[in-house]
Amino acid sequence: MFNVIPEAVIKPIDESQELWSISYEKLTPVLIKSIQEQQQQIQKQQSEIETLKNELEIIKQILKTSSVK
């Protein structure tokens, strides 16, 4: 955790007597940003899927009319 988000890690004064801990309130903005980025990626992929579906339907129609002739 320290290597990725050092500002969220609380380093003890005496490491031999105490454990490192995490400041969860400092993780919240990082997690929210990650979720927002993930949501943008999902929306982009959904748009690409819709485009591909439409293209596939056009190709199917072309093939259908070509095979009828």
pLDDT for position 68: 72
| Pair 12, 19: CB distance under 8 Å | yes
pTM of the predicted model, to two decimals? 0.68
pLDDT for position 63: 94
pLDDT per residue over 9-66, tens digit each?
999 999 888 999 999 999 999 999 999 999 999 999 999 999 999 999 999 999 999 8
Reported confidence tier of residue 69, pLDDT bands at 50, 70, 90: low
CA–CA separation, 68 vs 60, rounded Å? 12
CA–CA separation, 65 vs 49, rounded Å? 24
Among 5, 11, 10, residue whose Cα is nearest residue 29: 5
The contacts of residue 11 (CB under 8 Å, 6+ apart) are: 2, 20
pLDDT for position 1: 85
